[in-house]
Structure 1
Amino acid sequence: MNTISYQYNAQKITTGILHIGVGNFHRAHQQFYTNLILESEDQQQWGICGVCLLPSDEKIVQNLRAQNLDYSLTVCGRNGTDEVYKIGSLRELIWGIEDPQAVIDKIANPSIKIISLTITEGGYNLDKETGEFLLNDEKIKHDLKNRTAPSTVFGFVAEGLRQRKMKNSGGVTILSCDNLQHNGNTAKRAFTEFIEAQDKALAEWVKIHVTFPNSMVDRITPAVSAEDIQRLNQKSGMIDLAPVYCEDFAQWVIEDHFIAGRPSWERAGVEFTDDVTAFENMKLSLLNASHTLLSYPSFLMGYRKVDEAMEDQDIVKFVRNFMDTDITPLVPAPENTDLEEYKKTLIERFANHSVSDQVSRLCFDGISKFPVYIIPNLAKMIERNMDLTLPAFLLASYRHYLKYKTDDHGHSYEIGEPWLTADDEHLIMSQDPFDFLGLSAFKATDLKTSDKFVELYIQFAGDIKNQGIGPVLKSIIKIAHHDYTF
C-alpha cells in the first residue's frame, strides 16, 4: 500500500498551536487537517505542540518520541480501499508529569496563538445538574492554592496565561475539540470560573484577551490494540509504534472567532461559520446519540464490534427508527445539509468493516455522555408528549449494563465509568429500578416526574432481566413506528 507522506520540510515548521490531550481522535482529526495545510509555505507557522498531562500518557509520549513524533494514519474507506498518511504536523511533545514548567512556558510563548483541547466530555469538571464548575474537587483545590505547581489542565492553563499576561505575549484562542453542546461555551465557563476563583486580575485579562469559539468535530476513531498495530504496520509497510486508524468521513465546523489568528484550515475542508449550533445539534443528536443508543443493547447482546452489530437488522432498524421518529422532528438541518442523506451516511459509517469500531468504546463513560447526547432531546420528547419507547429502553439497558455486568451469553465484563459518584454507585445497586433514574447523568431533567416514561422504563428493566436484551429489542422493533427494509 502506498503511503502519502507529507511534502514539507518538517524542520522548517514552527508551532503556533498548543494542543492538550494527544489521543487518537486528535491525531486523526486536527492533526490530519493541519498536516494538509502545512504543505503551503504561508501556513508553516501552524505546527502543533502536543501536551500530555496524565501519568498514563507515558507510553504514547515515549513511542512518538522514538520516531521523531511522526506517525501513520490509516483512513479506512467504506468502499474497502484504505489510504495511509504519514503525519508530520506534531512538531513538539511535552509531558507535564516529566516537565511541568515546560508546559507553562509554552502556553506563555507569544508564538502560540491557539490552545486546543481534547480532554473528553467529562474533563471539564462541571456539575451535571447545575453546570457550575466544581471548585471543591481535591485536585482543583490544590491548584487554586499552588499556582506555580499545577496538576490539572485548569491550573496549567491559568499559570500559562498568567505568565502570558506578565510577558505581554498577546491574546490567545482556547479551542475545545470535544463532543459537547457549545463546547466553546463549556470551556469558557470551566476555565473562567477556575481563574476567577484563583486570580481576579487574570480573570479580567482573560475577558479581553482570550476567545472560546464553539466547534463541531466528527470522525470515528477507534482505540488501537496491539493486534491493530501489527495489522496497520503490515498494511502500510511502516514500523510505527503509535499508528492511528479512522473512517474516511471527517467534518469540522468552527465559529470564526480567533483573537490571534488561525490556520487556513478551510483549504483542507474545514467549514467556518458564525454559529455552529445547527451543526452540533445535528451531529450530537444523530451520530453521538445513536452511538449511545446502540452501544449498551449491542454489548449486552454479545457484539463487541460496531460493524458486526450493524449486521443485525434489529439493531439497524432500532437506530434508524430513533433517528427518524425521535430525533428528526427535534433537529433542524443546517443550511445546505440534506438530513436524509446525512442519516443514510451515518448507517454506512457505523457499518464500515474497515473501521470496525469497538462497542466498548461507545459504552465508555456513559455518565458523561447521557447528559450531552440523550437527556436534552429526551426532555423535549417528554414535553411534546412524543413516544418514549426507545429512550426508555435505552435507559433500562444502561442500568442493566451497569448493574449486572453480564451479557445475554453469560459473559462477564468490566465497565468503564471514571466519573461515577458514590451516590451513583448506590443507586445502581438498588433493587428498585426507579432509584436509578436519580443518577447524576439524568439530573438536568427529573425523569421521575414523567409517569409515561417511568412506566415504560420500569417495564423494560424487568423484561430485560427476565428475557434478555435481544428478545426485548425484537419486541420493540415489531411495534416501532416504521418498518424499514435494508
Structure 2
Amino acid sequence: MNIISYTYPPDQIKTGIVHIGVGNFHRAHQQYYINRLLADSDQQTWGICGICLLPSDQQIVENLRSQDLKYSLTVFGRDGQDECYHIGSLGALIWGIEEPAAVIEKIADPSIKIMTLTITEGGYNLIKESNRFNLDDEKIKQDLAHPDQPSTVFGFVAAGLRQRRANKHGGLTILSCDNLQHNGNTAKEAFLSFIQAQDPLLAQWVSANVTFPNSMVDRITPATTAQDVNKLNKLSGLDDKAPVYCEDFCQWVIEDNFVAGRPALERVGVAFTKDVTVYENMKLSLLNASHVLLSYPSFLKGYRKVDEAMQDEAIVRYIRQFMDMDITPYVPAPPHTDLDAYKQTLLERFANKSVSDQVSRLCFDGISKFPVYLMPNLAKMVRDQKDLSRVAFLFASYRHYLKYQIDEKGNSFEIAEPWLTAADKKFIASDDPIDFLNLSAFQSVALKTAAHFVSLFTSMVNNIKEKGITLALNAILH
C-alpha cells in the first residue's frame, strides 16, 4: 500500500473553516481535499475546526483527541491500487455537549470565513409536504425561546452569527455538503426561517452578509466497523482509533458564491461553476436513486454487502435498465461528461469489493431519500406515461421491508427510519397496500390517482409476498 503523508506543518496551519458534523463522509471528502491543498504555502489559512453537537459524537471526539486529531484515510482503488493518506487538516475539535460557549465563539471568530455542514438529509428539519421549516419541533421551540442556551444546529448557528454581528466581524459563507438537490437553497430556507422566527433583525443581517452556495458532493464512504478498524490498521501499519476508508472516485462541484473569500480548491480538483443544477441532477438521479433502487430488493434477497449484491445479474440488470430507460431521458449531461461512461463507472463503483459498503447503510432513512432522489423524476415519468414497472417494484420492495422486516432467507432485521411519523407507521401497518402510498415521503406526487402506477404497485406487493423478492424481480426484468 502506498502511504501518503502530509507535507505541511499542522501546528502552523490557521483555521478558516468550521465544519459541523465530523462524520466519515466529511473526513473522506472535504478533509481529503483541504489536506491536499494545505501543501501550498499560500493556502495555509484554510485549516478546519470540527464541531460536533450530538451526545452520540462522544466516541469519535475522544478517539480523535487521543491522537491529536490526526487520522488515516484509506482509498481503495477499483484497479486494486490502494493508498493511505495521513490527514492533518483537522486543526481543532469542539464538542458542543461539553463546550457550548466555545461553539458560539468559534462561529463568531473573525478568522472563520466559511461554515460547512454535513448534518444529513433529514437534519434540515423541513416538513416534507411543504418543504418549509418545522417551527413546531419541540427542540426548535426550546431554542427559539432560549437563544442563549442552544441545543440544535440552528440555535448554535444563530447564536454564533448574532455574536459575529455584534463584534462587527463580517459575514461568512454557509456551505452545505449534504446529498440534497439545491442543498444551499435548502440550508438558506432552514437557517433563515429559524433566525427570522427568533431574531428578525439578525435575519436581515444574515440576508445581507451570509451566502449559501449550492454544491454537489460524491464519494462512497462506508461506515467503519470494529473489524474494519483492525483491517485498516493492519494494512497501514498504524494504530489509528478513527480510521476512515472510501472508494477512489471523488467529486465536488460548488457554486462560486463566497462572500468572505474561499480556498483555491480548484488546484486539487474541485470544480467551481455558476450553476450546479445539471451536476446535481445527474448525481442524485443516477447514483443516489440507483443506491435506493439497489438497497431494499438486495436486502430482502439476503445481501448485506453492496459488492455481493452486484454479483447478482438480476440486480445489475435492474439497475442498468432503471438508469437507461427511466432516468437518462430526464438527465442532460453536464459539460464534458460522457453519460454512458458515467453510468458504467457507477456500476463499477458499486461493485468495488475493497470498499464493500453495507446495504443497511443504503436502506437507512429511506423516508428522507425518496423525496429527494426518486420523486422528482417519478413525477415526470407519470406525466409522460412512461413504463413505471421498475419504480413500482421499488415501492413494493420498500413496503415489504418496512412492514414485515424479514428477508427471503428467513433472517429478521430491524429498520432504521428516524423520521417516520405516527401517520407513516399506520400506513405501513395497514393491510391495504394502497394506504402505503400516503407516506409522507411520497406526497409530492399524487400516486393514488396514477391508475397505472397503483395497478403495478399492488400487483408487485402481492408478488413479493406470495412468490418472494427473487421471482418478483425476475418477472419485471423479462
TM-score, normalised with respect to structure 1: 0.98
Question: Are residues 1:301 and 2:294 paired?
Answer: no
Q: Which residue of 2 aligns with 1:78?
A: 78
Shift of the alpha carbon at 1:476?
1.1
Q: Structure 1 counterpart of 2:291, which letter?
A: H
Q: Which residue of 2 aligns with 1:181?
A: 181
Confirm or deny: 8 A CA contact 2:254 2:276 kept in the other structure. Answer: yes
Structure 1: distance between partners of 2:461 and 2:163: 54
Structure 2: distance between partners of 1:446 and 1:152: 33
Structure 2: distance between partners of 1:390 and 1:178: 27
Q: 1:64-94 deviations in whole A, cap 9, x for unaligned?
A: 0000000000000001121000000000000
- The alignment partner of 1:136 has SS state of coil
Shift of the alpha carbon at 1:308?
0.4
Shift of the alpha carbon at 1:2?
3.6
- The alignment partner of 1:335 has SS state of coil
- The alignment partner of 2:132 has SS state of coil
- The alignment partner of 2:354 has SS state of coil
- The alignment partner of 2:340 has SS state of helix
Q: What is the 5 A alignment of 1:355-370? A: 355-370=355-370
Structure 2: distance between partners of 1:80 and 1:401: 34
Q: Which residue of 2 aligns with 1:172?
A: 172
Q: Which residue of 1 aligns with 2:241?
A: 241
Q: Which residue of 1 aligns with 2:148?
A: 148
Q: Structure 1 counterpart of 2:276, which letter?
A: V
- The alignment partner of 1:51 has SS state of strand
Shift of the alpha carbon at 1:444?
1.2
Structure 1: distance between partners of 2:179 and 2:129: 18
Q: Structure 2 counterpart of 1:398, which letter?
A: Y
Q: What is the 5 A alignment of 1:54-73? A: 54-73=54-73
Q: Which residue of 1 aligns with 2:28?
A: 28
Q: What is the 5 A alignment of 1:81-480? A: 81-478=81-478
Q: Structure 1 counterpart of 2:62, which letter?
A: Q
Q: Structure 2 counterpart of 1:344, which letter?
A: Q
- The alignment partner of 2:75 has SS state of strand
Q: Which residue of 2 aligns with 1:17?
A: 17
Structure 1: distance between partners of 2:210 and 2:449: 41
Structure 1: distance between partners of 2:92 and 2:76: 27
Q: 1:236-291 deviations in whole A, cap 9, x for unaligned?
A: 00000000000000000000000000111111100000000000000000000000
Structure 1: distance between partners of 2:325 and 2:160: 48
Structure 1: distance between partners of 2:142 and 2:366: 28
Structure 2: distance between partners of 1:3 and 1:414: 39
Structure 1: distance between partners of 2:304 and 2:184: 33
4+ runs deviating over 4 angstroms: none
- The alignment partner of 2:403 has SS state of helix
Aligned length, in residue pairs = 478
Q: Structure 1 counterpart of 2:314, which letter?
A: D
Q: 1:401-454 deviations in whole A, cap 9, x for unaligned?
A: 000000000100011100001111111000011000000000111211100000
- The alignment partner of 2:127 has SS state of coil
Structure 2: distance between partners of 1:79 and 1:111: 41
Structure 1: distance between partners of 2:266 and 2:98: 36
Q: 1:73-123 deviations in whole A, cap 9, x for unaligned?
A: 000000112100000000000000010000000000000000100000000
Q: Which residue of 2 aligns with 1:481?
A: none
Q: 1:305-364 deviations in whole A, cap 9, x for unaligned?
A: 000000001000000000000000011111111100000100000000110000000000
Confirm or deny: 8 A CA contact 2:303 2:309 kept in the other structure. Answer: yes
Structure 2: distance between partners of 1:344 and 1:445: 30
Q: Structure 1 counterpart of 2:408, which letter?
A: D
Structure 2: distance between partners of 1:221 and 1:11: 28
Q: Which residue of 2 aligns with 1:483?
A: none
Q: Structure 2 counterpart of 1:286, which letter?
A: L
Q: 1:106-159 deviations in whole A, cap 9, x for unaligned?
A: 000000000100000000000111011000000000000110110000000000
Structure 2: distance between partners of 1:199 and 1:130: 23
TM-score, normalised with respect to structure 2: 1.00
Shift of the alpha carbon at 1:388?
0.3
Structure 2: distance between partners of 1:208 and 1:128: 28
Q: Structure 2 counterpart of 1:296, which letter?
A: Y
Structure 2: distance between partners of 1:182 and 1:150: 27
Structure 2: distance between partners of 1:226 and 1:81: 24
Q: 1:169-206 deviations in whole A, cap 9, x for unaligned?
A: 11100000000010000000000000000000000000
Structure 2: distance between partners of 1:214 and 1:175: 7
- The alignment partner of 1:49 has SS state of strand
Structure 2: distance between partners of 1:94 and 1:335: 40
Q: 1:356-388 deviations in whole A, cap 9, x for unaligned?
A: 000000000000000000011101100011000
Structure 2: distance between partners of 1:414 and 1:94: 33
- The alignment partner of 1:474 has SS state of helix
Confirm or deny: 8 A CA contact 2:74 2:83 kept in the other structure. Answer: yes
Confirm or deny: 8 A CA contact 2:2 2:82 kept in the other structure. Answer: no
- The alignment partner of 1:16 has SS state of strand
Where does structure 1 lack aligned partners over 5 or more consecutive residues?
Answer: 479-486
**Aligned-CA RMSD value:** 0.5
- The alignment partner of 2:133 has SS state of coil
